[in-house]
Structure 1
Amino acid sequence: MITRFHILAALLTFAAVTGGILYGFMSTCFVSGLALTTFIAGSCAKRVFVYRAHREMIRLVMRTMGSRAR
Structure 2
Amino acid sequence: MKMISGLFIFLILGALIVAAPSGVDAQNQDPLVIVLTADGPLTPAMGEYLQRGLRLAEQRQAELVVV
TM-score range, shorter chain: 0.3 to 0.5
TM-score norm. by structure 2 comes to 0.46
Task: Answer 1 or 2: which has greater strand percent.
Answer: 2
Larger Rg: 1
- Give TM-score, length-normalised by structure 1: 0.45
More helix by share: 1
